[in-house]
Chain A
Amino acid sequence: NAGVTQTPKFQVLKTGQSMTLQCAQDMNHNSMYWYRQDPGMGLRLIYYSASEGTTDKGEVPNGYNVSRLNKREFSLRLESAAPSQTSVYFCASILGQSNSPLHFGNGTRLTVT
């Protein structure tokens, strides 16, 4: 099915370990986003990419890096995981028109011990 695909679905890391969350969309969308969801906090924007080749910080970028590998793929990297990064991570994409809805992946539940 067309949409936004995130991998993995679940991950457990130890403090200090690194990992990359993968995201790909097959809808030819221009913009892609990484959000984190924490209880009582809603969704907060980590990084976004308005178009291929560009990335910008969102509300909570510290501890993360991103790569817009091509138009389809937008990865999120944790270089040295911390317990505060325990969260559910969502990738999303949009065609580019402001009244278009965001299309979300199914999320990655990350636990850092």
Chain B
Amino acid sequence: AQTVTQSQPEMSVQEAETVTLSCTYDTSESDYYLFWYKQPPSRQMILVIRQEAYKQQNATENRFSVNFQKAAKSFSLKISDSQLGDAAMYFCAYRSTQGGSEKLVFGKGTKLTVNP
């Protein structure tokens, strides 16, 4: 079974600075999808960014980008020019492309604090 590990339970960053959240995963599959979700205090789960494993190019969405290292099974999230509204729990997630299953496996999350 696939597992997702987020080794940083908590992180903090100064407003306008850059922060990187770590995520590693374990799988024997060659094709899969990876996601970062944000959960603000409102409890809503919001998709931040996604990456297809077959794509070598790292995904970017405005201030959010990933560093996808397939061989190392690493999928870190970089937040540039951090804003107060970025404060939230961040979850890394993995989805297989095999077996007709669309289940997402989540990491335990990283709580990000943004200091003014």
Are A and B bound to each other? yes
Interface residues of A, count at CB 8 A: 25
Chain B CB within 8 A of A1 CB: no
Q: Which residue of B lies closest to A98 (CB)?
A: B97
Q: Is B43 a contact of A107 with CB atoms below 8 Å?
A: yes
Q: Is B43 a contact of A45 with CB atoms below 8 Å?
A: no
Q: Is B102 a contact of A50 with CB atoms below 8 Å?
A: yes
| Minimum-distance CB pairs A-B, first 4 | A104-B45, A42-B108, A101-B47, A43-B106
- Rounded to whole Å, the gap between the CB of B70 and the closest CB of chain A is 16
Chain A CB within 8 A of B91 CB: yes
Q: Is A98 a contact of B102 with CB atoms below 8 Å?
A: yes
Q: Is A45 a contact of B44 with CB atoms below 8 Å?
A: no
Contact residues of A between 1 and 28, Cβ < 8 Å to B:
none
Contacts of B97 in A (CB 8 A): 98
- Complex-state Cα separation, A41 to B108, whole angstroms: 5
- Rounded to whole Å, the gap between the CB of B6 and the closest CB of chain A is 8
- Complex-state Cα separation, A7 to B42, whole angstroms: 16
Contacts of B45 in A (CB 8 A): 90, 92, 102, 104
Kindly identify which residue among A99, A101, A102, A106 contacts B43, using a CB–CB cutoff of 8 Å: A106
Contact residues of A between 61 and 113, Cβ < 8 Å to B:
88, 90, 92, 94, 96, 98-102, 104, 106-107
Contacts of A42 in B (CB 8 A): 6, 91, 106-109
Contacts of A48 in B (CB 8 A): 103
- Rounded to whole Å, the gap between the CB of A34 and the closest CB of chain B is 12
Contact residues of B between 60 and 96, Cβ < 8 Å to A:
91, 95-96
Kindly identify which residue among B6, B43, B108, B109 contacts A88, using a CB–CB cutoff of 8 Å: B43
Kindly identify which residue among B33, B101, B108 contacts A50, using a CB–CB cutoff of 8 Å: B101
